Amino acid sequence: MIFNVTLERDEDGIWVVECPSIPGCVSQGKTKEEALENVKDAIRLCLEVRAEKGYPLTIETRQVEVAA
C-alpha cells in the first residue's frame, strides 16, 4: 500500500511525519530518512489496531485548489 505523508521539522529540529489518511498516525525521527522509516512502522501498527477494533482502515483525503 502507498500512503501520502506530511513532513515538518519541529522547534527542536526533529522531523515529524503524519499520515493524514489514518487518524492519529504520527511518528518522528532525527533525520528525514529516519522519520520516514519510523512512519512505515507506525502505519503498519495503526492499520493493525484499526482492523482489530473494526474501524475503517483509512479515511478519505482529497486535494483542493484554493486561489491565493
What three-state secondary structure class fits 15?
Answer: strand
Count Cβ atoms below 10 Å from residue 49 Cβ, excluding itself: 13
pLDDT tens digits for 43-67?
999 999 999 999 999 998 888 999 9
AA identity, residue 49? V
pLDDT in tens, 12-49: 999 999 999 999 999 999 999 999 999 999 999 999 99
Does the pLDDT of residue 68 top 90, yes or no? no
- pLDDT, residue 62, reads 86
C-beta of residue 38 within 8 angstroms of C-beta of residue 46: no
